[in-house]
Amino acid sequence: WRREAPRPRVERLDPRNNPAAPSPAVDDERVYVFFAEFGLLAYDFDGNKLWDAPLGPFDNLYGMGASPVVFDGKVLLVCDQRTDSFLIAINGTNGQVAWRVDRPEAASSHATPIVWQPNNGEPQLIVVGSFLLSGYAISTGQRLWWVRGMIHEMKSVPVISNGIAYVNGYGSPMNDPGNTLDVGPFENALQYDSNDDGLLSRDELPEGRARQRIRMSDLDRDGKLSENDWNYFRNSMAMTNGMFAIRLGGSGDMTDKNFLWLYSRAVPQLPSPLLYENLLYMINDGGIVTILDPTTGAQLDQGRLQNAVDSYYASPVAGDGKIYMVSELGMVSVVKPEPTLRVIATTDLDDTVYGTPAIDGNRIYLRTGTTLYSFGLPQ
Ligand SMILES: [Ca+2]
Ligand SMILES: [Ca+2]
């Protein structure tokens, strides 16, 4: 079946994004889909619409990207945007809001959250966004603890294993080690406020990062940097690109206790990491594969995929003792899960791929720009 969703408005999108970028979520009874230009919709498995929950409009520099997650009867959706970011839980049976919490620190992030079940205690939603990784109680929406140090735009889904989250964040080359800096407080920057209106316009700012990045930093889009805009800019210049390993849990600000390690070379902007057979893999947008020791963050190997040198948007997946990496132009590399990068097969799908493959049972599903493929052994 096929159903058309309402599209009451058209929102700004980066050309690499599209209005149907968020993936659907399913439970035993329903499928939930989020379209930023409408909101959430729920269907039964016969395609009958059960409810809808209009949300937005949204304002995100690149458009919305986070997918809904369903757990324990609630549809959980991170709606981070330039201003008024929030996290919402909607009752899967009837579409009513169970709870909604503001995320004032978050701007322009796109990361789908992940559920974490601690050994002791209630399930939490682990949300990565601007500057913070946070744990929320799924039952109430209360933010229980957080760790500082994330960059300003988080896009990747964390991977969780043994109470540790591995998550990569990449802002721009200005966030590479050695390039970060403290641009100082707003009160110092006000020396450039030549018309004394308490705001910094593009023309007032000297040549440099503040002027170059005003389109990103001007969160409320009035063409000038307020103190709030400046603080976002200041924080975004101070943070370091990296793969972060963070212990989960605790209460309040856990930055000092929970931050385990940071690895900062060839970090992906978009593809999420993969933890498989006790090795941590990442592939960056430029096609550089890095294999890390998840315990220490030590680099075990780094290199490009022979026969598939390309850009990468899809995240790596693994099953049956193999890792699958799919490039933007549809080159599929099958990699052995070993500390040294070794490709055992390459296939060309001859079409664009931006979506992460899905594995279910003995099948792997791959979606290209035109075609949905299912691969597996004959039954
Ligand atoms: Ca001014
Ligand atoms: Ca502004």
Instruction: Catalogue all structural domains in the chain, each as residue range(s) with its CATH number.
Output: 1-110 (2.40.10.480), 186-238 (1.10.238), 281-379 (2.40.128.630)
pLDDT of residue 145: 98
Q: Which residues, given as ranges, of the chain have pLDDT below 70?
A: none
Angle at 58 between CA 79 and CA 77, to 5 degrees: 20
pLDDT of residue 378: 85
Q: What ligand has the least distance to the C-alpha of 189? A: 1
Tens digits of per-residue pLDDT, 6-58? 999 999 899 989 999 999 999 999 999 999 999 999 999 999 999 999 999 99
How distant, in Å, are the alpha carbons of 103, 176, 230 from that of 151?
15, 11, 15
Centroid of ligand 2 to alpha carbon of 210 (angstroms): 12
User: What are residue 102's DSSP bridge partners?
Assistant: 86
Closest CA to 368 of 348, 350, 353, 347: 353
CB 64 within 8 A of CB 22: yes
pLDDT of residue 108: 86
Centroid of ligand 2 to alpha carbon of 45 (angstroms): 45
Centroid of ligand 2 to alpha carbon of 201 (angstroms): 9
pLDDT of residue 201: 97
Q: What ligand has the least distance to the C-alpha of 202? A: 1
**How far apart, in whole angstroms, are the C-alpha atoms of residue 286 and residue 290?**
12
Centroid of ligand 2 to alpha carbon of 269 (angstroms): 26
Centroid of ligand 1 to alpha carbon of 192 (angstroms): 7
Centroid of ligand 2 to alpha carbon of 223 (angstroms): 6
pLDDT of residue 379: 77
Position of tokens 């964390």? 158
